Structure 1
């Protein structure tokens, strides 16, 4: 046998013996670093989801406050000023109306299985039949927007016109003069949500 080869074998085995633990340690370190990176990524993802949830909750609470969100027996309600949504005597949404309707959609997203009714109201100016028609058209316009842009199931929402019924303020002052502020309050759209068996925790 070649003497050089014989001398080389012990040396090679010695080097391999020293190299193996080092290689194994390097592999272990890489595995640990990989797992630490994966864990950190998961933690960041959880933090992001938690922040998103907090943001959504804040948006929901803000929307409820701005929409005069109330619980009424077996239903929940929100109110929108007709003057914010529509020009006088019109049933076409103003451009800025979408901001208010987006807030409505945020709240309704918590009640996707509940039935929703959109009710339109007017003041007492004009004939009762004209006011009934206008209120119905306005309610339908809001309903259609919520279905098209707010993610609301069309089978879960209806629209009703109430005309000048159920005023929330006086249309005239005690002396018989006109009450513009009261009329403005009566021109409104209400969103009624049938209260589910379990109301989402605020």
Structure 2
């Protein structure tokens, strides 16, 4: 699966004038991070209460793209304007997980499946993020191996929401879709552990 991180990289030159303007206004990377997370949580709450609203489902891919853009902006502010901090790193990791849970847990209702399917998938995604971070405990870098990292998760969930919003009935295939996602999440955990151990042995 082609990583969506490549799209983020392509966006950076286009976003740079906006980043400069935001910094001149006094906007910090941490404020961008909190704003992106809060927006995701509010949208997830709306989706929980209205899981079959086609307008909301069609807007989810846009929200996910907006979130990716905000993450890119926050990262650029951090790197290019000397705003890197330990607190910012912690905030970024925590809000990524919180936003994922807020946006994807409502798929229990969107896909009309047993709650255990989505719960297990989300547990695996949290473990994947933990696997990426835990390497820092043994002196290696944060790892982002796929195939089911944050950006690719957003693409798959966004595509699923788009198809349902277009009134394509995915209910008969819901368990298969979630099962494939679980396999991808498990592979991501293994790949990140392998990457960490490989780097540590160098």
TM range (shorter): under 0.3
Rg comparison, structure with higher value: 1
> More strand per residue: 1 or 2?
1
Q: Which has the higher helix share?
A: 2
TM-score calculated relative to the size of structure 2: 0.27
